[in-house]
Structure 1
């Protein structure tokens, strides 16, 4: 049955594994590289006639059961736990999640080689060909770890003790049966290898505590014996430390604490000792079968027009995951929450100020309202009130226009704090209203003025000049709202993954004397939790710690290494995979202090080198363009993504309202600084998938104030 180890297809599988996972023998990889939640949308039509996707409304019938949502939540918790574990103690392992037996060696183009190897489909007689591994860990040093996850429910504390025991016992017994089945399947799939890796088994109960599990086992001796046998320990042994439970996985007060996962990992894995059979060659062979091109990789997604839960294949590499994550949070299909749909369909709203923290869909609401007006044949005036709203305005115009409607869209750029600019735009807009039966339709994104009450005064004057005014404005700063405008508050994340919003909301502008509203929890699942942010420190070999991060060549090279790991700028991997990330998908942002480019004199002689960060990136082969202040042509190219395929570097305020799949935030100064605080709000919030945070060296522990 076993294929010859030099079979041409199997050799190709190994080559692909080395190509997709270049540090296979140095670090941890997850497959799929991101976990996607099961989500459900319904198609609704706005008043404008535009079809959009709406997140599910609580209480309405749904294709998704509560157990689906609970399983996704548990899967996220477990994967987050493993991510934290490998960050604290780097591991060489390959982690597969929600891996269905049927997807193993099932790509038709590799059928010749696959038919020579054991496959789950061969086990139909025993009915073992159906099922999945919740989590399957292939570890370079400790063999294979089978992880069975069983969600119990979120209301355990409300149950009587005997009810708790019954619920936990039911899940444990189901887990034992599933683990036994998984062990049989694994044993069969691994036949024919020169050596058999060891298989360790464990149970994860994300909703039960160790005390609850122990109480059940003490009162159900037969179940205890069955669990001990399943986990491969003596019948008088203690299985509880070998199981991952609630307190190991999630501590809301200390989310970064890895004590629980470490304790479990030590008991279940490390104390078992290294697996002597697991050599480099065997590790590569096992990974190439389970994660190579002959095996299908699937993630959940919702597809239009039927919007049923389906699968999408080939989210394999870290770059695939970032590309897919960015697409889910900035989709081609527009996704709205029910309250946003209600806002857009409300005819009574004519003068509206949309506010809320970054990533909640403010610009999207303005875009859809403008499209509604355009479809009614109304001219739309997009007004940029200060230099830092121009990028968002360019982006809005790009999203609104098509060859048939460009004559209906006009962009005005001014500095509202400049009295002459303000008077001129009032005159211009007033004449436009006079030419259109007294009606005026205005959009103002990132609306702001430096001087107090300037925006309010402008609104009052414009309303006085144009009684039939329709004006929709947006800003994250709620105190800027003109007094008589209706406030629409958006606080549920829509365009930003939770792992990013968790970083953004740590800024003080949402807490102490807030000027930005805090986020609120979504009522229905978001597409995913997100990609773990990467943190790089300006310290160690090659770094001059006396220099600022901006001036460090090594920091630039380290950023380049992260981008190369994600295959940014590389070739598309396969027709079934997401496209490769482009350099233009990346922002390099600072909060204050400019990165500068090489300066030359009239003779072309270099008078000043580019910032070290820029030089380091370029030396590593990453094309970088620094946004030049007041270069509106370049800014428009950045906003519309029509310029060169380069990483764009800028101060975060210059690209306010724009988003990128990858954001590199270079922090100039130390812990808990204004730079970090503003960077969270105005740089990190631009990210829809992968955040890379470059930090100065941490001060000594005795210098850190808590």
Structure 2
């Protein structure tokens, strides 16, 4: 996102890490050029915020330093209220999680098609590209830094400390030789520091902490030294010189016009160097004067105290000691800051540095992710549209494997949720159409499989770019009921088999795909076609498959999670059906996830049996509580759902159609509000906060079809915007087979056993990024 001149009204915020598309196959993280960024939505500019009763502007809540209050522009105030709504009471870390770079390779199947496949760690280890190995290594050490700072933030929160932590800042990019940088404050305030060019040459990754009480800490991160004493010594000298220069620049040009001068502290982080190596280097250095000046310490021993090493990061006691040592020193200025100064500093560093004007603004700069940006990015990484899919080697091998014989090509894909069984079916359908087959039949075998069947049909047809007749959906739901086969149901299967036989006589072969399949129905069709000596392709997939003995040789297990990030997978793994073996267990993928989170968020519902203060909650079930709806709406607002932010490369931010609200409630009829299974009260709470909703009945086939065809990708969704821009509220079985960035799970209130059976497996697994769990508290 391109930085603008300070009077332009746009946020000068550009990416250091951003998503890009590579040959239409995979979404990955790259160092990218700046692209345009619109300002954050205002508290009245989107449906989600119109009735949200926003908190008063941050600066309006403080009566301190009124002359500084006046210098906070409307744009800055709007930014802080939108992205840091609890700035005076909570700590923030930016970005909310470290995003790893994704590496991939091109592979070719036996069908002659090329598919993007994610590289395994073993492949990266032997990769000839030094750049690839370096990015993997740097990602690992920076993720460790981020984890440690999260620990510090969490501990500080328990002790009521307030701060904003920037773990991937870059002060050096503001001083590139090709740029002339001046303080924008000079144009507004004649008492401001004199405008002059800055020159920060080194391109370190910085850690910046803006502490509410103790001032600012700037730490240079040295990511690659690997216990090489010569390399450590050289990098220490560079970091010290850089920090000395950065301190002067920040003091003069970023803080120079503030009435209250905050303290500045310096530190160095060496996440790839052991404490033993550092001590050896310091002992052998004849002159530590440079280090002492750069870090503003009085002795060589203190240099060691303000350096954080690899083994220190794994020890909470030593991590705490480094944190205290880094903030105890005071290089000029006052420790204490009033509210206005703290707010000014957060605005200047996180927008970032809006008081600095860049006349040449096309240089790459840091993108500072909010929690909503993180959810969108992780959702796009895990829930890519078909044109951007990259597979694990496990899924690729299933596609590459030749059929068992010429006449019969059968695969039964069995595995837990989110392991790309549907994607493999869709790619198989594309292969068939591109080889010239006339028709692919998509088979729906159960009422709960409707959404999955519509999704497979839509994706195969649209991605292949062929006509509506190329992919036909056949509804065989309900042919086998709970009591087993009936004469009528067998006749229905036989009638369809007869149609398939006639199709085979004309076209030579029949091709069938079945997602979320009932194994008894698949087995009946399989046996009937074999008995009639029909040449056929039958690929089916499911989570719970009781495969008969004569079909077991066709089973292929897909168990590596590709849809959901690890934080969601860990919740799904607690499902009863996974623990008792009804659903196969996940196996660890050979490729690290781009991000572990975001972590699951929770909202507590105090039901009828709760004996304490219910805090405005009502009803025994979560969906019968308007207060829970209001709290969830506030969380969605904090994630900036519905705000028209422009994320990197025009992907857009989270929209209301990126959200599912799921549970065991009944959405089929407009039942009265007091009906036990109606979600009307919860919906009322959402809408009272300005969140538009769309309730989808289980038997509304047209609505289910529309949901299935509205994929995760913003390009595919753009045509439906306006009509479909609403949060979907549905029974968890209605959307089985679909996915969205954010899933709000409404706990059944029937105890832990029931949530393990349905909620984790049926609802939480639909999420490609963020789960919000509305939990029933009974005691």
TM-score, structure 2 length as denominator?
A: 0.72
Residue 518 of structure 2 corresponds to residue 448 of structure 1: yes
Cα offset, 1:688, TM superposition: 1.1
Cα offset, 1:654, TM superposition: 2.5
Which deviations, in whole Å up to 9, do the C-alpha atoms of 1:418-472 show, x marking residues without a partner? 43445423431442233233511111111235xxx56544433343345312111
Q: Distance in 2 between matches of 1:698 and 1:446?
A: 35
Q: Which residue of 1 aligns with 2:28?
A: none
Residue 96 of structure 2 corresponds to residue 16 of structure 1: no
Residue 246 of structure 2 corresponds to residue 185 of structure 1: yes
Q: Distance in 2 between matches of 1:221 and 1:313?
A: 35
Change (3 A) 1:357 1:105: farther
Cα offset, 1:381, TM superposition: 0.8
Residue 167 of structure 2 corresponds to residue 97 of structure 1: yes
Cα pair 1:442 1:472 within 8 Å, conserved: yes
Which deviations, in whole Å up to 9, do the C-alpha atoms of 1:56-88 show, x marking residues without a partner? 350343364433212212222332343354345
Unaligned runs of 5+ in 2: 1-5, 8-66, 356-362, 607-612, 711-719
Q: Which residue of 1 aligns with 2:500?
A: 432
Which deviations, in whole Å up to 9, do the C-alpha atoms of 1:500-555 show, x marking residues without a partner? 223333445444446313221323x4433332332222356624487333332222
Cα offset, 1:129, TM superposition: 1.9
After superposition, the CA RMSD in angstroms is 4.4
Cα pair 1:76 1:529 within 8 Å, conserved: no
Cα offset, 1:687, TM superposition: 1.0
Change (3 A) 1:242 1:313: closer
Q: Distance in 2 between matches of 1:134 and 1:543?
A: 45
Tell which has more relative contact order, 1 or 2 (C-alpha 8 A, sep 6+). Answer: 2
Q: Which residue of 2 aligns with 1:113?
A: 184
Which deviations, in whole Å up to 9, do the C-alpha atoms of 1:547-579 show, x marking residues without a partner? 333332222111100101122122335796541
Moved more, 688-697 or 338-347: 338-347
Q: Distance in 2 between matches of 1:221 and 1:110?
A: 36
Q: Distance in 1 between matches of 2:577 and 2:210?
A: 44
Change (3 A) 1:38 1:143: same
Residue 132 of structure 2 corresponds to residue 36 of structure 1: no
1:67-82 alignment to 2 at 5 Å? 67-82=134-149
Secondary structure of 2:504's partner? coil
1:118-517 alignment to 2 at 5 Å? 122=197, 124=199, 128-150=200-222, 167=228, 170-171=231-232, 174-175=235-236, 177-191=238-252, 192-194=256-258, 195-206=260-271, 212=276, 235=299, 244=308, 249=313, 265=323, 268-269=326-327, 276-292=335-351, 314=367, 316-332=369-385, 333-348=388-403, 350-378=409-437, 379-402=439-462, 404-413=466-475, 414-418=477-481, 419=485, 420-421=488-489, 423-437=491-505, 438-448=508-518, 455-465=522-532, 467-477=534-544, 479-480=546-547, 483-513=551-581, 515-517=583-585
Cα pair 1:119 1:189 within 8 Å, conserved: no
Secondary structure of 1:538's partner? strand
Pick from 656, 663, 671 the counterpart of residue 743 of structure 2: 663
Change (3 A) 1:462 1:114: farther
Cα offset, 1:348, TM superposition: 2.5
Unaligned runs of 5+ in 1: 157-165, 252-257, 297-309, 700-706
Cα pair 1:315 1:577 within 8 Å, conserved: no
Secondary structure of 2:538's partner? strand
Length, aligned pairs only: 656
Q: Which residue of 2 aligns with 1:694?
A: 774
1:512-661 alignment to 2 at 5 Å? 512-513=580-581, 515-523=583-591, 525-538=592-605, 542-544=615-617, 547-573=620-646, 578-590=651-663, 592-594=664-666, 599=671, 610-641=679-710, 644-661=724-741
Which deviations, in whole Å up to 9, do the C-alpha atoms of 1:238-285 show, x marking residues without a partner? 77776555677569xxxxxx8876666456548989963533333333
Moved more, 481-490 or 74-83: 481-490
TM-score, structure 1 length as denominator?
A: 0.79
Change (3 A) 1:439 1:578: closer
Which deviations, in whole Å up to 9, do the C-alpha atoms of 1:674-694 show, x marking residues without a partner? 414543333222111222122
Q: Distance in 1 between matches of 2:653 and 2:741?
A: 12
Cα pair 2:448 2:736 within 8 Å, conserved: yes
Q: Distance in 2 between matches of 1:168 and 1:673?
A: 56
Change (3 A) 1:243 1:644: same
Cα offset, 1:366, TM superposition: 0.6
Which deviations, in whole Å up to 9, do the C-alpha atoms of 1:306-325 show, x marking residues without a partner? xxxx9797564332332222
Q: Distance in 1 between matches of 2:434 and 2:448?
A: 29
Cα pair 2:69 2:340 within 8 Å, conserved: no
Cα offset, 1:330, TM superposition: 2.3
Change (3 A) 1:176 1:356: farther
